[in-house]
Amino acid sequence: MVAEIISVGTEILLGNIVNTNAAYLSEQCALLGINCYYQDVVGDNRERIMGILRTALERADVLLIGGGLGPTPDDLTKETCAEVLGKQLYMDEAVKTSILDFFNRKGITPASNNFKQALVPEGAVVLENPNGTAPGLILEANGKHLILLPGPPNELVPMFEEKVKPYLQNLVPGTIYSKMVKLCGVGESAVAEQIADLIEGQTNPTIATYAKTGEVHLRVTAKAEDEKAAKQLVKPMVKELKERFGNHIYSTENDTTLEKAVVDLLLANKLTVATAESCTGGLLAGRLINVAGVSDVFKNGLITYSNKSKHRLLGVKKKTLEKHGAVSKETAEEMAKGLAALTKADVAVSVTGIAGPDGGTDKKPVGLIYISCSVCGKTTTREFTFTGNRAKVREASVAAGLNLMRESILEYYSKEIFGS
Amino acid sequence: MVAEIISVGTEILLGNIVNTNAAYLSEQCALLGINCYYQDVVGDNRERIMGILRTALERADVLLIGGGLGPTPDDLTKETCAEVLGKQLYMDEAVKTSILDFFNRKGITPASNNFKQALVPEGAVVLENPNGTAPGLILEANGKHLILLPGPPNELVPMFEEKVKPYLQNLVPGTIYSKMVKLCGVGESAVAEQIADLIEGQTNPTIATYAKTGEVHLRVTAKAEDEKAAKQLVKPMVKELKERFGNHIYSTENDTTLEKAVVDLLLANKLTVATAESCTGGLLAGRLINVAGVSDVFKNGLITYSNKSKHRLLGVKKKTLEKHGAVSKETAEEMAKGLAALTKADVAVSVTGIAGPDGGTDKKPVGLIYISCSVCGKTTTREFTFTGNRAKVREASVAAGLNLMRESILEYYSKEIFGS
């Protein structure tokens, strides 16, 4: 089974938007065990859309087509697909009613061109769109499957998840099952080295590597007759990865982020948390507060960018700042300890460093970051040197901060429990 | 002049990475006045790359090809382009030396396959790559221009800026000049309405609209014989936009972000700033601290997520929290005033709201946000209702916070100056 992903929209060709739909649909095809050899982007132009459709019909079984389903005369995807397949359009009363309902809910009177969206090619399966007015469509002809999806990602993604995925699963013989193994605190190349023997000559299951800032995700995918059999193939590989990477694995759940893993750990151990940030300026707290339910554990966050605020709010000694500087192991440690004393939080984490582009010296270059984490009085401080621009350095620092929190809590409890 | 953008890499077809290169190259083409009708993505496969090249050579004058220039046997872009044009590869000693230098600087011994990157098609122009080992290449044949660029964006973008842009400018008759007009505090549809008459039937200059969270960017582009003449065409249109949008325009500079505009305003008026955030949890401070040089104005940032911290740190009255709730105009205002009193900052901004997904009620739905800004004792508080998921609501709140800071400062000074 081969799929081709076609994105329709002049705005993509002008560079106004980044084509995240294509990346999403490609990943979904990979997850379903469907090969994808081409992605195409074409503007809102009848001849050119037609040309792309004809080419894609020759080289793929499934065409996933996003965009161009709107109400304006520029939106030509549906009309052109129908034309290529020799199908007529008719007014679908059910779709018309649901468009009316959508506008009623919003208290707006629909314009006459909105009903263009209720025109449906004969024989098409209509996919309801609860998030917009353009319904999706599935057209079948001569063993080919054309799947038309609305362009906005917040409409395309839920429609794919709910309607298209089950449809495609039915087309693919067997079942695909995959499990994500998410690692932190270990680099991409180190991970690659440690799994080289598993990846070499892999057939079923397979491991795919995805690198994120401060994280590496491994997706283990297997194909079998049914889900149970596929799960059985995935299981020993995940077990092997757990043995190899141990505590570096922060989750095997698709929707668990690193910050959620940290918050879950805090909740599980009934620990409160506070942050004090210099160069990351609130981004670490921002990621923690991205987790719904963090309010039970988050005590306070401080952004102490200046020396004055490090001294006044956190009690970092003037002498420390003078002797070692604001970017130093000593300052980071006093920040974390001062924060713990001030807020009475169980876990107190601090970040100080040089995010650039200015402020670097030979001894203390741009990218030098110190992170300190105090867990119930036990403080660990680490030095990092990150590369990249200001935004990259800050993003990497936040990931390293989350990872240090995680490791410090795990270590504290292992010592508590085992008395070592 | 027509360009086609071809991205080579199986990792794109697996959805492992989002194709930001294509968006960047498309935008650059638009800026240069070069039409782009197709973007293609193809995997690391000789036959399929060759097919795409042949098709693209038929429909475009310039092929911008990114990726597949690495040292592994999978990297086939250069070899396949040479084959399609009937050109031989030879070892370029200058490139070989610069690859050796690159590895020497990093203290690594190059592997033998690294020298594959020094193979150059006959007649090609070699584009140096200071950020990696794969040089770029320009091949010309039969009036067509094939431009091969390394895949990593941090290599592709600077190479395009420094080497490819001047090359393309030479190919396009006349000069393109464009100016960005950046707006905030006004919605995309309101902007569209207010410039509909300017956009209708536009030829030279043209206006393109780019919507960002909480911002709208308008790019005015003109084409003329030389830069001076193009600038003359752009100037009256920018003036017209300034008259229509007034203070909603925060910058006409390409590299000025909204947070930079705010920090510039603080610096110009010698104002210090402090932040107190609830649902945005540090993200507003994080954006301000994204501006290099903010240390001169940023006093303190507080993340007061709980009622307790709002009361203890900022002095929000318990009665206010009980009567109006943490998400209320009254609390936001007391937060800003308390913050100003605590930190002695000239500008004190606070954010409180319901980012979701939980915590909403009929009276106070998810997305309800209050932002308050106190400038030298004068406090303005605004209510917003944003849609979207938790991340979207927070992002929109941060943009609205920056805009409120900007407007409050401007208003304060206009009143000061004009005594109204």
Mean pLDDT (whole number) for B264-274:
96
B418 pLDDT tier (thresholds 50, 70, 90): low
Q: Are strands B215-224 and B273-277 parallel, antiparallel or unpaired?
A: unpaired
**How many whole angstroms separate alpha carbon B182 and alpha carbon A72?**
27
B392 pLDDT tier (thresholds 50, 70, 90): confident
What are A259-291's pLDDT values in tens digits? 999 999 999 999 999 999 999 999 999 999 999
Of all residues in chain B, what percent carry a pLDDT higher than 90? 73
User: Cα-flanking dihedrals φ and ψ of residue A326, to 5°?
Assistant: -70, -30
Distance from the first to the final alpha carbon of chain A:
56
Which CATH number describes the domain made up of A258-418? 3.90.950.20
CA distance B45 to chain A (A): 9
A106 pLDDT tier (thresholds 50, 70, 90): confident
DSSP three-state, residue B128:
coil
Q: Which two tokens stand for residue B71?
A: 């040292």
At the top level of CATH, which class does the domain A2-171 belong to?
alpha beta
**How many whole angstroms separate alpha carbon A150 and alpha carbon A145?**
16
Nearest to B282 among A279, A301, A304 (CB): A301
**How many whole angstroms separate alpha carbon A120 and alpha carbon A135?**
9
Run of H or E residues at B220: strand B215-224
What are A11-41's pLDDT values in tens digits? 899 888 899 999 999 999 988 989 999 999 9
pTM of the model: 0.81
Contact B14 A208 (CB under 8 A): yes
Residue B262 has pLDDT above 90, yes or no: yes
Contacts of B20 in chain A (CB under 8 A): 18
Judge whether B188 and B213 are in contact, CB under 8 Å: no
User: Would you state the pLDDT for residue A415?
Assistant: 65
What are A115-150's pLDDT values in tens digits? 888 999 999 999 998 888 889 999 999 999 999 999
Quote the DSSP letter at residue A162. I
Nearest to B39 among A13, A210, A357 (CB): A13
Contact B302 A300 (CB under 8 A): yes
Mean pLDDT of chain B: 92
In chain B, positions 99-158, which contact chain A (CB-CB < 8 Å)?
154
Report which of A290, A305, A284 is spatially closest to residue A348, judged by C-alpha positions: A284
Give the DSSP per-residue string, A318-370.
HHHHHHH-SSSHHHHHHHHHHHHHHH--SEEEEEEE--SSS---SSS-TTEEE
Question: How many cross-chain Cβ pairs, A to B, lie less than 8 Å apart?
Answer: 207
CA distance B16 to chain A (A): 6
Contact B283 A286 (CB under 8 A): yes
In chain B, positions 260-299, which contact chain A (CB-CB < 8 Å)?
275, 277, 279-286, 288-290, 292-295, 298-299
Q: Which two tokens stand for residue A361?
A: 């010296």
Nearest to A26 among B14, B38, B275 (CB): B14
Dihedral sign, Cα of residue A183, residue A184, residue A189, residue A190: negative
Q: Distances from the Cα of B315 to the Cαs of A265, B331, B340, in angstroms?
A: 31, 10, 11
Quote the DSSP letter at residue B110. P
Chain A interface mutation, best of B160, B188, B300, highest count of A Cβ atoms under 10 Å? B300
Judge whether B350 and B336 are in contact, CB under 8 Å: yes
Please tell me which residue, A4 or A293, carries the higher pLDDT value. A4
Mean pLDDT of chain A: 92
User: Would you state the pLDDT for residue B417?
Assistant: 52
User: Cα-flanking dihedrals φ and ψ of residue B139, to 5°?
Assistant: -115, 135
In chain A, positions 384-413, which contact chain B (CB-CB < 8 Å)?
388, 390-391, 394
In chain A, positions 10-39, which contact chain B (CB-CB < 8 Å)?
12-20, 22-30, 36-39
Residue A154 has pLDDT above 90, yes or no: no
A301 touches chain B (CB under 8 A): yes
Contact B23 A24 (CB under 8 A): no
Residue B278: count other Cβ atoms within 10 Å of its Cβ. 29
B54 touches chain A (CB under 8 A): no
Residue A101 has pLDDT above 90, yes or no: no
Residue B113 has pLDDT above 80, yes or no: no
**How many whole angstroms separate alpha carbon A233 and alpha carbon A174?**
13
Q: Which two tokens stand for residue B33?
A: 């006045």
Give bridge partners of residue A121 from the DSSP assignment: A89
Q: Are strands B175-184 and B249-251 parallel, antiparallel or unpaired?
A: antiparallel
Which ipTM was obtained for this model? 0.79
A245 pLDDT tier (thresholds 50, 70, 90): very high
B134 Cβ neighbours under 8 A, 6+ residues apart: B69, B70, B71, B117, B150, B155
CA distance A216 to chain B (A): 12
What are B217-261's pLDDT values in tens digits? 999 999 899 889 999 999 999 999 999 999 999 999 988 999 999
Judge whether A87 and A123 are in contact, CB under 8 Å: yes
A46 touches chain B (CB under 8 A): no
Q: Hey, where are the domains in chain B?
A: 2-171, 175-251, 258-418
Strand ranges, E, within B95-174: 119-121, 125-127, 136-141, 144-149
Q: Are strands B378-385 and B347-353 parallel, antiparallel or unpaired?
A: unpaired
The CATH number for B175-251, chosen from 3.30.70.2860, 3.30.565.10, 3.10.20.90, 1.20.1250.20, is 3.30.70.2860
Contact B282 A279 (CB under 8 A): no
**How many whole angstroms separate alpha carbon B364 and alpha carbon A20?**
33
Please tell me which residue, A263 or B100, carries the higher pLDDT value. A263
DSSP three-state, residue B109:
coil
Contacts of A303 in chain B (CB under 8 A): 275, 282, 285, 289, 298, 300-303
Contact B300 A294 (CB under 8 A): no
Residue A420 has pLDDT above 50, yes or no: no
For residue B130, whether the previous peptide bond is cis, meaning omega lies within 30 degrees of 0, is no
**How many whole angstroms separate alpha carbon B105 and alpha carbon B96?**
14
User: Would you state the pLDDT for residue A419?
Assistant: 46
